[in-house]
Amino acid sequence: NERLEPLALPPWRRTEASFNGRLRITPAARGTTKEEAAKAHKAMAHGLDEQYDCISLYSDGSLL
C-alpha cells in the first residue's frame, strides 16, 4: 500500500523558504518611489549578471 500525504500548499504557492536559500524575495522599503526601486533593482541585477551560478528570470514580460 502506498500512502500519500496531502500537500499543505499547492506546488504553485511555494514560499521563499521552500527553496532552501536558492530564492530571495526582497520587496522595496516602504515609501520608496517606483524610480528608486527600479534603480536599486537594476544595480542588484547587474551584480547578479556577473555571477556564474545565478539565473535571472522575469515572468512579467519586461525587457530589463
pLDDT of residue 12: 75
DSSP codes joined into one string, 1-64: ----PPPSS-GGG--GGGGTTS----PPPTT--HHHHHHHHHHHHHHHHT-TT------S----
- pLDDT of 64 higher than 70: no
pLDDT of residue 13: 76
pLDDT digits (tens, 9 = 90+) for 11-61: 777 788 888 888 878 788 899 999 999 899 889 888 888 888 888 777 777
